[in-house]
Homo-oligomer: A and B are copies of this chain.
Amino acid sequence: MTITRVSHADLVAESAVQVRSAIRSGRYDGHTAGLAAGKLQCNLAILPERYALDFLRFCQRNPKPCPLVGVGDSGDPTLPTLGHDIDIRTDVPRYRVFRDGRLTDEVTDISGDWADDLVTVALGCSFTFENALVRNGVPVRHLETGKNVPMYRSNIALAPAGIFSGDMVVTMRPIPAHLVDQAKEISRRYPQAHGAPIAVGDPAQIGIADLASPDWGDAVEIRSGEVPVYWACGVTPQNVLLQAALPICITHAPGHMLIADVAEDAETTILTNTRTNKETTS
């Protein structure tokens, strides 16, 4: 049987469940920006159970770059608090498999790599607050120009936990000076998605030498009257995991996220119907 592939445009009006279904069946393996509008999208880190306690401590201590939104049971590929039918082995469009700190595979299905001791950790991502900025009239340059957000290694030390430590990676968005306070206030409402900016203005204050030379992503123009604004970035935990050189670690490929059924503006990242009211649902 041949699989009928679908495009990003085919999926743009579909629900989270339908998009995950297209990904699971092999019909779609592209990026997830703009899909399942209003639903939380997640960065992914899958790692062996013996490192999971320290990694959860690391995320708790560094909530701006590592906003914890879901954790699976050991060996269990479902994530019932994030979505009704999620199978983390198949529901992300594209995965990166790292062994001993080196990228060994980029794949669309990790069923063959799954093991009883693996723990899935889902972290919030910047799509959430970027959507809110745009919705509230704050322009986001890299989205307007079809580029990837510029990302930089900063000199902001992370709070360590076990083998996990390092410096924070930040993103930069140029914001018109008169909209900076609004951008701060809007993004602060999304603690599950990096929250308020880490810094505003001079890149040297956080150890960035040259905004024109990002460490990842694309440089973007800073126009007259605009101020560079820096947010904590989800590449931080990926970078820290890479440096920790675990025997195995699986992440999403950049831009190819897990789409949850949780609304991105929900009070918590937990599907409320996982807390069934036993008496009144009968």
Contact = CB atoms under 8 A, between A and B. Distances in A.
A277 B73 contact: no
B191 A270 contact: no
A52 interface: yes
Contact of A159 (B62, B188, B274): B274
A155 B277 contact: yes
A281 to B, nearest CB: 10
A231 B274 CA distance: 18
A276 B157 CA distance: 6
A275 interface: yes
Contacts of A63: 268-270
B159 A279 contact: no
Contacts of A102: none
Given A53-B53, A196-B267, A68 B73 contact: no
Assembly stoichiometry (copies) = 2
A282 B52 CA distance: 34
Contacts of A73: 57, 161-162
Interface in A99-119: none
A191 B74 CA distance: 27
A15 B61 CA distance: 24
Contact of A61 (B71, B205, B278, B280): B71
A195 B68 contact: no
B157 A278 contact: yes
A60 B68 contact: yes
Interface in A143-179: 155-159, 161-162, 167-168
A138 interface: no
Contacts of A56: 53, 56-57, 60, 71
A274 B60 CA distance: 13
A195 B267 contact: yes
Given A60-B68, A61-B274, A81-B159, 20 more contacts: A53-B53, A53-B56, A53-B74, A56-B60, A57-B71, A57-B73, A60-B71, A63-B270, A80-B159, A155-B278, A155-B279, A157-B276, A157-B278, A159-B270, A159-B274, A195-B267, A196-B267, A205-B277, A207-B279, A207-B280
18 contacts: A53-B74, A56-B57, A56-B60, A56-B71, A57-B71, A60-B70, A63-B269, A73-B161, A73-B162, A80-B159, A155-B277, A155-B280, A158-B275, A191-B268, A195-B268, A196-B267, A205-B277, A207-B279
Leading 6 A-B pairs by shortest Cβ distance: A155-B279, A53-B53, A63-B268, A56-B56, A57-B71, A159-B274
